[in-house]
Chain A
Amino acid sequence: MSSNSFSYNEQSGGGEAAELGQEATSTISPSGAFGLFSSDLKKNEDLKQMLESNKDSAKLDAMKRIVGMIAKGKNASELFPAVVKNVASKNIEIKKLVYVYLVRYAEEQQDLALLSISTFQRALKDPNQLIRASALRVLSSIRVPIIVPIMMLAIKEASADLSPYVRKNAAHAIQKLYSLDPEQKEMLIEVIEKLLKDKSTLVAGSVVMAFEEVCPDRIDLIHKNYRKLCNLLVDVEEWGQVVIIHMLTRYARTQFVSPWKEGDELEDNEKNFYESDDDQKEKTDKRKKPYTMDPDHRLLIRNTKPLLQSRNAAVVMAVAQLYWHISPKSEAGIISKSLVRLLRSNREVQYIVLQNIATMSIQRKGMFEPYLKSFYVRSTDPTMIKTLKLEILTNLANEANISTLLREFQTYVKSQDKQFAAATIQTIGRCATNILEVTDTCLNGLVCLLSNRDEIVVAESVVVIKKLLQMQPAQHGEIIKHMAKLLDSITVPVARASILWLIGENCERVPKIAPDVLRKMAKSFTSEDDLVKLQILNLGAKLYLTNSKQTKLLTQYILNLGKYDQNYDIRDRTRFIRQLIVPNEKSGALSKYAKKIFLAQKPAPLLESPFKDRDHFQLGTLSHTLNVKATGYLELSNWPEVAPDPSVRNVEVIELAKEWTPAGKAKQENSAKKFYSESEEEEDSSDSSSDSESESGSESGEQGQSGEEGDSSEDSSEDSSSEQDSESGRDSGQENKRTAKRNSKAKGKSDSEDGEKENEKSKTSDSSSAESSSIEDSSSDSESESESESESESRRVTKEKEKKTKQDRTPVAKDVSLLDLDDFNPVSTPVALPPPALSPSLMADLEGLNLSTSSSVISENIY
């Protein structure tokens, strides 16, 4: 037991033992087990007997009951010796349950656990891959430090296993060993390096996970595998996809230069079209050199796109954050549709997705504007979803849609969920400050709310109005008078304090009312909340300075009351104010400036989104959700100024390039027998990828401008690269022309191909290579050959590909036509902005905010 708590401490960063408090103490005493100790003992005796019986059924029964105990959190550790004997049982279910038990308690009974090790060592040599895998799995899950060398050996062997499934388990074991003994890091990194080279989709996700856990800073290990990972991505299982995408996002931010141009920062770039030419020129001059996207950068963006259609919300979110962080801004638009789709999902998914959308919508409004209505609140939404939706609606509000939004807000204000109604009022306040055209209408609407029957609503309105008035302290005397009247009825301290502050601040605009208010407040001073008392003191001081004739006595009375208040804050403030405003012989130079001090222009508060400062966290991460850096959060680096050497991603060329062609061919042969062959043929029949691209672009229609933009830029990049390919083919001369042609073709095709599920399915390329090479010879000059070649290319025999890239790598920097540049220009979706004139109906709508029948006529002579 002590060892248990020890390892626990270690994991949670033992240093903060003080904080550990509650969690650690109860680790030591597994709940409830000791309470019924005596009865447990008896029961366990009979379990022991059952475990020692000869019959499998009795053993199984006992094991089931023990697992039941574990599940309920009861302590079953004393059965360890009896259970561990059964580790070599022939019965699979008993064996599995023993494994469950072993993994749970081995840590506490280290010596006894060693008895089971030899069984696993034997199983590691089993001819059946699944048995090898499960042995490795359990062996590595036993957290006993003594067996670290054995585990290390097992992992090393398993990582060279022929079966990808065993290798996958080896990747999992790496993390387990690392958490057990971080000393092994160097050796484990070697294994990771080896497994990263693995071409199986089964392994990819797990090994990247291990990489992230053990050595996330060794980005150099990724270089050689980058292209392979990009191409395998579609076929990796969904959980692996998430991990790989997050890792590749970080990678891309360190290895490529920013695709965002300075102009991108401005959302409404299209306005620049109509500006004078000089401006344009200046802008282009500012760019140091024309930007071309690294083909590898493009590869990643292109290969993740299909994953937006995944049924797994985590994958969609991962792709969305990848697009957000590394794609050109003009292309990021396509993620919004998929994110909005996730809003149909469970409440927890909605919560996370809405948070991320909230962050995005602050920076790039245009992305989510078309989906405005998807964020409308339903009365059945939980409050946390409602407030997040409100947040997004506020971010999306602009001159064009504000009238519809305000009408929608009207319904929300009336909601039975008062917390939500209050949030809506805050929102209206924020809209009013952001969109100047509606400030007055919003203000009027809010004033009408002041006569609402619900106190929370009124209080919130007062607070918001105060902020609004502070922002434009023009002629709002009427409103202030109205609010002064409210002092009689409102009891919420914040609201009362806000009203008093407002009156004090504007005491010269309402000379008749202010002293009267002070008089009333003086009467009720002792029974007010501290917050209100402070504001009464303030009001008194301000009036004393501006209108001492009427208020001198009142203020002194209040100061006297304050002097003997229970709260030291108030006593303190009273003393301070008295010294400052009441002239006496001791008062220093300061009191001359008292008026300036009290009635200075105060900066208006900024009504900001609570999501404003979240953008420095990578989207979709735990840290972003909590807005706190979580343990193990890996910072997303800024784009490098100059791209690091792209050639590091090239994989060494194998001398005889031709030798690889048959291998690819072999794969195609294999796949022909499989089920996906058909679709591949179909795709081959379509002439070129650019055709199918544009087709799909127009078909999907909805995708709109940004989508097509993305397509065309892809096309052009492909065109240019294929050009370069063929050129370099000529230049190099070493390769015959056919290869060059094939490459260019392949490059074009790769886009449409790599979505195929077939990647890497052929396990033994060697065996079939002979056969397929003969086929290759026979059809060397036919067209079909080049087609099949291109197909095999899609399966990414990495070596082959990298040979090609080596060819086209050199000319990349050579020249880039202006056309290319244009294609990369951001075209932020032009949202039709009707002239910001306010519809007349809006006024009427806001009038409707008035909920009650009571008239809101304000008259001065009430006082």
Chain B
Amino acid sequence: MIHSLFLINSSGDIFLEKHWKSVVSRSVCDYFFEAQERATEAENVPPVIPTPHHYLLNVYRHKIFFVAVIQTEVPPLFVIEFLHRVVDTFQDYFGVCSEPVIKDNVVVVYEVLEEMLDNGFPLATESNILKELIKPPTILRTVVNTITGSTNVGDQLPTGQLSVVPWRRTGVKYTNNEAYFDVIEEIDAIIDKSGSTITAEIQGVIDACVKLTGMPDLTLSFMNPRLLDDVSFHPCVRFKRWESERILSFIPPDGNFRLLSYHVSAQNLVAIPVYVKHNISFRDSSSLGRFEITVGPKQTMGKTIEGVTVTSQMPKGVLNMSLTPSQGTHTFDPVTKMLSWDVGKINPQKLPSLKGTMSLQAGASKPDENPTINLQFKIQQLAISGLKVNRLDMYGEKYKPFKGIKYMTKAGKFQVRT
């Protein structure tokens, strides 16, 4: 399966290599660099690159290319999914996944990679088990380690790997037993010129942070489970129970994990919480264009919209923009032609707007297309689909846990065509 892994930074340096079978020379990466050059942009590098003797499968995250070397036929998603899992694990271990952090923790990284694959086949990919095997570095532990000479490698053996519930550590103990669930929904939408919706869907996830002693068995039920059209579960969720009763029943992993991701059925019309009024025009004759956008709330169920940011990729002909926002700050990068406007909260009484002019390259013809506007926003305490958790029960343990649930709606891929 996976022969070797190379980590390559954005300037084309291979800063880490790991081999699970015999060593593959790092010169295979030349094929990758070739492909990278051809693609011009990092995100256009094809995920699968064939070379005479190997296949290079790569993912690009956090400005790092993770390039896996394969020699024989294997489902490409198998490798890609695994690479993403590696990135997630690093993130889980170090907080961020970046080149300096990986370089600083190269030994832990190596130990983790060693445990994740055996002979190229995934062995332990659950972060709960990995953390039992190799403790993540914390400042405190680093200090303690240097003084006492103890190590990051767990001295007890990873019993979790052998247990009935491989995703949960054994012998978990907390003084405060708590379970928090965040219901986060994202709206993906394309809005056309006139403001009507071309497509809109709601995708949601339930992220959990469970810190409970022992082996708790939780059930989570919804007021309106029928809203959920398509779901995918963390392996801990009992599928049959969901099929028959629409109840989530599970023994949670310890710590943070994604319990469920779902898609809200398409028949429910999606309430679009914001609107954008825009007036962007270029004139053939003059080298000045008008630019004006206003953002306003719509169907927000009385909640405020916060964290609004507007970004837009301006056409190449635009040299500069002189704009004045009614609130927030804006920047325009004349190199990448990227306009971004950090709006903040929307006050329904006084709608935020951004007005001004664009200066165009003299003599250049006016662009064919007006730029698309990408929108980000957040609405706290609202699940836009109307999904509501009914109750959370715990079995199997005696104590009474503290339970909390939070709702949030965010913009996913929210685009307004102008």
Task: Report whether chain A binds chain B.
Answer: yes
Contact B107 A702 (CB under 8 A): no
- Chain A residues with CB under 8 Å of B47's CB are 347-348, 351-352
Contact B75 A620 (CB under 8 A): yes
- Chain B residues 326-371 with CB under 8 Å of chain A are 365, 367-369
- With A73-B26, A348-B80 as contacts: A631 and B235 at CB distance below 8 Å: no
* Contacting residue for B151 out of A24, A93, A351, A622, CB 8 A: A93
- Chain B residues with CB under 8 Å of A310's CB are 232-233, 235
Interface segment among B93-101, B110-118, B274-282: the answer is: B110-118
A232 at the B interface (CB under 8 A): no
Contact B75 A630 (CB under 8 A): no
A312 to B243 alpha-carbon distance, docked (Å): 19
Number of interface residues of A (CB under 8 A): 133
A48 to B365 alpha-carbon distance, docked (Å): 70
Contact A631 B71 (CB under 8 A): yes
* Contacting residue for A73 out of B14, B165, B396, CB 8 A: B14
A31 to B24 alpha-carbon distance, docked (Å): 12
* Contacting residue for B215 out of A238, A384, A675, CB 8 A: A675
* Contacting residue for A628 out of B50, B226, B240, CB 8 A: B50
A311 at the B interface (CB under 8 A): yes
Interface segment among B152-160, B292-300, B301-309: the answer is: B152-160
CB nearest to A676 among chain B residues: B238
The interface bits of chain A over 451-479 (1 if a CB of B lies within 8 angstroms of the residue's CB, else 0) are 01110000000000000000000000000
* Contacting residue for B121 out of A22, A23, A27, A206, CB 8 A: A206
B25 at the A interface (CB under 8 A): yes
Contact A311 B258 (CB under 8 A): yes
The interface bits of chain A over 349-366 (1 if a CB of B lies within 8 angstroms of the residue's CB, else 0) are 101110000000000000
Instruction: Tell me, rounded to whole Å, the shortest Cβ–Cβ distance linking A414 to chain B.
Output: 4
Instruction: Tell me, rounded to whole Å, the shortest Cβ–Cβ distance linking A797 to chain B.
Output: 18
- With A382-B41, A634-B73 as contacts: A60 and B151 at CB distance below 8 Å: yes
* Contacting residue for A620 out of B48, B77, B107, CB 8 A: B77
Name the residue among A128, A374, A761 with the largest chain B CB count within 10 angstroms: A374
- With A12-B53, A64-B107, A67-B106 as contacts: A96 and B80 at CB distance below 8 Å: no
Contact A306 B239 (CB under 8 A): yes
CB nearest to B18 among chain A residues: A71
- Chain A residues 731-777 with CB under 8 Å of chain B are 752-753, 755-757, 761
Instruction: Tell me, rounded to whole Å, the shortest Cβ–Cβ distance linking A99 to chain B.
Output: 8
A278 at the B interface (CB under 8 A): no
Contact A752 B244 (CB under 8 A): yes
Contact A31 B368 (CB under 8 A): no
Name the residue among B43, B229, B239, B243 with the largest chain A CB count within 10 angstroms: B243
B92 at the A interface (CB under 8 A): no
B37 at the A interface (CB under 8 A): no
A72 to B26 alpha-carbon distance, docked (Å): 10
B395 at the A interface (CB under 8 A): yes
Contact A384 B46 (CB under 8 A): yes
* Contacting residue for A452 out of B15, B157, B164, B368, CB 8 A: B368
- With A4-B23, A234-B239, A344-B203 as contacts: A683 and B77 at CB distance below 8 Å: no
- Chain A residues with CB under 8 Å of B151's CB are 60, 91-93
A127 at the B interface (CB under 8 A): no
CB nearest to B42 among chain A residues: A382
Instruction: Tell me, rounded to whole Å, the shortest Cβ–Cβ distance linking B7 to chain A.
Output: 9
A682 to B239 alpha-carbon distance, docked (Å): 13
- Chain A residues 1-57 with CB under 8 Å of chain B are 4, 7-8, 11-13, 16, 19-20, 22-24, 26-27, 30-31, 56-57
- Chain B residues 216-239 with CB under 8 Å of chain A are 217, 226, 229-235, 238-239
B401 at the A interface (CB under 8 A): no
- Chain A residues with CB under 8 Å of B241's CB are 679, 682-683
Chain A residues with CB under 8 Å of chain B are 4, 7-8, 11-13, 16, 19-20, 22-24, 26-27, 30-31, 56-57, 60, 64, 67-68, 70-73, 91-93, 96-97, 99-100, 104, 107, 128-131, 137, 140-141, 143, 163-165, 169, 172, 175-176, 179, 202, 206, 209, 234, 237-239, 242, 246, 306, 309-314, 316-318, 337-338, 340-341, 344, 346-349, 351-353, 373-374, 376, 378-380, 382-384, 408, 411, 414-416, 452-454, 620-623, 625-626, 628, 630-634, 674-676, 678-679, 682-683, 686, 692, 695-696, 699, 701-702, 752-753, 755-757, 761, 851, 853
Chain B residues with CB under 8 Å of chain A are 1, 14-19, 21-28, 30, 41, 43-44, 46-48, 50-55, 58-61, 70-78, 80-82, 84, 106-107, 109-111, 114, 118-119, 121-123, 125, 149, 151-153, 155, 157-158, 161-162, 164-166, 188, 190, 192, 198-199, 201, 203, 215, 217, 226, 229-235, 238-241, 243-246, 249, 251, 258, 261, 263, 265-266, 284, 313, 315-316, 365, 367-369, 372, 374, 395-396, 413, 415, 417
Q: Can you list 15 A-B pairs with a CB-CB distance of less than 8 A?
A: A27-B25, A71-B18, A96-B114, A104-B23, A128-B157, A172-B119, A209-B1, A237-B166, A309-B233, A314-B75, A316-B232, A348-B47, A626-B55, A695-B244, A752-B240
